[in-house]
Amino acid sequence: MINKKWDIILKEEMKKDYFRKLGTFVKHEYATKRCFPEYKNIFNALRYTDYDEVKVVILGQDPYHGIGEAHGLSFSVQEGCKRPPSLDNIFKELESDLHIHRENNDLTDWAKQGVLLLNSIMSVQMDRPLSHQNHGWEMFTDAIISKLNEREKPVIFVFWGSYARSKKVLITNPQHKIIESVHPSPLSAYRGFFGSRPFSKINRYLKEIGEKEIQW
């Protein structure tokens, strides 16, 4: 399905009853309603960042629900789209942290360097945020996080906001690193996202463990 090692890692998960029901639900939603991302792009996060290549996980909640925005990577939008407020604040913090001024709103280059841009809920109806919650996506993406937790090679988990931080319970392997703060949303960014310096923290830790730093 994904054509990567993820297919092997998640093989048993995909056989479970909840996942079959999720597949039926998603197919029906896409057949009868306008949903995002495009059906072919739902698993882009896993396609761009295979299991063994994951260095960093940045967890989002669900995809952008406007036309042409979501393409299967958390926080990222397709080129040509207006920059969403949370992504704008992420770029402001990147510039403050590492003096990198980024124009490109498509984060595929991050994904190809080992940053798994994973949404906990991987699809959404147009203009209806969280419309696909509680149908099985959360169980599936929790399983993805748990499989990464099992890895010996360290992973840096980035949890922004209370929803993402609730997933900390899945990280039980002390080899892994957790970086957390409030969400970059305009509603909360000034309460601790700005000044949290996640990008330099990630690169410093990658350097410590002998991994190539991310070119943000």
pLDDT tens digits for 180-198? 999 999 999 999 999 999 9
Token digits of residue 50 = 């295979």
Q: How confident is the model at residue 203 (pLDDT cuts 50, 70, 90)?
A: very high
Ramachandran sector of residue 3 (left: φ over 0; alpha: ψ -120 to 50; beta: rest)? left
Q: Distance between CA atoms of 216 and 207, rounded to whole angstroms?
A: 15
Q: The whole model's pTM is what?
A: 0.97
Q: Distance between CA atoms of 68 and 148, rounded to whole angstroms?
A: 30
Q: Distance between CA atoms of 49 and 27, rounded to whole angstroms?
A: 24
Classify strands 124-125 and 156-160 as parallel, antiparallel or unpaired. unpaired
Whether a cis peptide bond, with omega within 30° of 0, leads into 198 is no
pLDDT tens digits for 9-38? 999 999 999 999 999 999 999 999 999 999
Q: How confident is the model at residue 2 (pLDDT cuts 50, 70, 90)?
A: confident
Whether pLDDT at 1 is above 80: no
Q: Distance between CA atoms of 140 and 74, rounded to whole angstroms?
A: 16
What distances in angstroms separate CA 183 from CA 165, 187, 206, one per listed residue? 10, 8, 23
Rg (the chain; Cα; Å): 17
Residue 56 near residue 62, CB atoms below 8 Å: no
Q: Distance between CA atoms of 71 and 65, rounded to whole angstroms?
A: 11
User: Residues with catalytic annotation?
Assistant: 62
Q: How confident is the model at residue 168 (pLDDT cuts 50, 70, 90)?
A: very high
Token digits of residue 83 = 């920059």
For the chain, the structural domain boundaries read 5-208
Q: 5-208 in CATH: which number? A: 3.40.470.10
Token digits of residue 152 = 């010996």
Token digits of residue 123 = 């699809």
